[in-house]
Amino acid sequence: MTPDDPRHVNAQRIETHEIHVITDDRISRATEIAIGLVDKPGALLPVLHAIQDELSYIPAEVVPGIAKVLNLSRAEIHGVISFYHLFRTQPAGEKTIFICRAESCQAMGSRELEAHAKASLGIDFHETTADGAFSLEPVYCLGNCACSPAIMINERVHSRVTPDYFDELIRAG
């Protein structure tokens, strides 16, 4: 099928339309969440948490709707999103890797492990790999201090994680 082929043009239209519909759904849902929590004192943080819990991140497109409902400026909302690192502006990866940065893990080499993880995945904390497979997040104690350094991938905690063991876990997917 060449780019001029009508089927190609239609396929492009359908694709664009689907993306548009998904985005609209997200905007509507985020606005509904804001309306549901608008009476809460300091509503912005609970609204942002609820949106992230549901969508896995806070798309830039939902900000104008939230701003309108909460009677805030877009700049105020973007300011809060960028201030709190736990808010994501990109979709979460299929798996989220949490690296413990608390005292016991630091004493056992978690800084080196963190540097290795960032270099081998090619991302920083709060980012997602280009293929969407992994996100990387810091965490402050996983309750596994006796087996430091610890990481958690999705809900599973891994103990005494060396850079080689980290690579094995990533290869295992």
What is the arrangement of strands in the sheet containing 156-158, beginning at the earlier edge strand? 127-128, 134-139, 95-100, 151-153, 156-158
Binding of ligand FES at residue 50 (CB under 6 A)?
no
- Which of 104, 125, 165, 170 is the binder for ligand FES (CB under 6 A)? 104
Which sign does the torsion angle of CA 24, 27, 32, 35 carry?
Answer: negative
Residues 133-162 that bind ligand FES (CB under 6 A): 141-142, 144-145, 148, 150
Taking the complex as a whole, the smallest distance from the CB of residue 108 to ligand FES amounts, in Å, to 8
Taking the complex as a whole, the smallest distance from the CB of residue 166 to ligand FES amounts, in Å, to 15
Rounded CA gap, 64 and 53, in Å? 19
Binding of ligand FES at residue 105 (CB under 6 A)?
yes
Closer by beta carbon to ligand FES, 58 or else 142: 142
Taking the complex as a whole, the smallest distance from the CB of residue 67 to ligand FES amounts, in Å, to 38
Rounded CA gap, 61 and 51, in Å? 12
Helix (H) or strand (E) holding 128: strand 127-128
Rounded CA gap, 42 and 62, in Å? 19
- Which of 38, 80, 102, 169 is the binder for ligand FES (CB under 6 A)? 102
Taking the complex as a whole, the smallest distance from the CB of residue 86 to ligand FES amounts, in Å, to 18
Rounded CA gap, 20 and 13, in Å? 10
Residue 90 identity (one-letter amino acid): Q
Site stretch for ligand FES (CB under 6 A), options 45-53, 64-72, 87-95, 103-111: 103-111
Residues binding ligand FES (CB under 6 A): 100, 102-105, 141-142, 144-145, 148, 150
